[in-house]
């Protein structure tokens, strides 16, 4: 049983990452004697914002199991319940069961699952998108990507856009009040201070979300790997 996760460089600022990739591409072209001419383009701020709102890109993963594909599919389907909106632990229709539990859909064409515990918490759960294929030398290969779930990608703009709008409004109002009269400078400085605190909280939330997603991805892959292991002879 093997589980592999592709390494991926992570940058705090997508703009810096995009500039770095373009610079490396330009350097590589010069080393090969390629004349880029005027092909160097400025990074679109709209594209950077869209990438930031979409969240972090998924990583390629693979799990190789000695079990046949039919048995892997049966185990995954048995441990998976349909994805639901409720976050309550007290559900009569979907009781909390022991062992690895997932939410999502399992079929021969696509396996799309999230950890049941992470979905119940409702805070940026990791999602696996993969399929089962025969592995070289026998067994089954579960290969695909793991990353932020679809619901997580949809909810990010709903949280980040109002947060940024409030910060911008506080900053603009603070600058206006500071420049207006001497009597309003204290109020303006207070608004700018609140905006700075808001920015720091946003950075903290991004870091915490990233760590939560990484932890969720690791637990998801660990539970899937254990689920697709063959039965132990002593059991």
Distance, in Å, from the CA atom of 193 to the CA atom of 56, rounded to the nearest integer, reads 29
Give the global pTM: 0.67
Confidence grade of residue 1 (pLDDT, cut at 50, 70, 90): low
Tokens of 194: 């609140």
pLDDT of residue 19: 52
> Of 77, 67, 78, whose CA–CA distance to 134 is shortest?
67
**Residue 197's pLDDT is what?**
93
Q: Give residue 108's pLDDT.
A: 84
Alpha carbon distances (Å) from 151 to 59, 202, 230? 17, 20, 33
**Range picked from 20-24, 65-69, 94-98 for highest mean pLDDT:** 65-69
pLDDT (tens digit, 9 = 90+) per residue, 188-219? Answer: 999 999 999 998 988 888 888 888 888 888 99
Q: Please say if the pLDDT value at position 39 is more than 70.
A: no
pLDDT band at 44 (very low <50, low <70, confident <90, very high): low
Residue 31, classified by CB atoms within 10 Å of its CB into exposed (0-12), middle (13-18) or buried (19+), is exposed
Mean pLDDT of 116-131: 81
> What are the boundaries of each domain within the chain?
2-156+202-227
User: What pLDDT score does 15 carry?
Assistant: 47
């Amino acid at each position: 049983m093997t589980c592999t996760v592709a390494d991926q460089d992570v940058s705090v600022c997508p703009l810096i990452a995009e500039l770095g990739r373009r610079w490396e591409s330009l350097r590589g072209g010069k080393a090969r004697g390629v004349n880029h001419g005027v092909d160097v383009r400025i990074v679109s701020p709209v594209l950077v914002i869209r990438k930031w709102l979409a969240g972090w890109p998924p990583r390629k993963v693979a799990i190789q199991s000695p079990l046949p594909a039919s048995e892997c599919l049966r185990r995954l389907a048995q441990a998976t319940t349909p994805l639901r909106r409720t976050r309550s632990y007290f559900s009569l229709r979907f009781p909390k069961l022991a062992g690895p539990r997932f939410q999502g859909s399992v079929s021969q064409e696509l396996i799309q699952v999230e950890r049941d515990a992470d979905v119940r918490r409702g805070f940026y759960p990791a999602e696996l998108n993969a399929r089962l294929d025969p592995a070289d030398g026998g067994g089954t290969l579960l290969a695909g990507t793991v990353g932020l779930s679809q619901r997580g990608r949809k909810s990010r703009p709903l949280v980040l856009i109002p947060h940024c709008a409030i910060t911008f409004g506080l900053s603009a109002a603070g600058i206006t009040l500071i420049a207006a009269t001497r009597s309003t400078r204290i109020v303006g400085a207070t608004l700018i201070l609140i905006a700075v605190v808001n920015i720091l909280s946003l950075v903290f939330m991004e870091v915490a979300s990233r760590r939560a997603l990484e932890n969720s991805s690791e637990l998801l892959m660990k539970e899937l790997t254990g689920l697709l292991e063959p039965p132990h002879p002593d059991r």
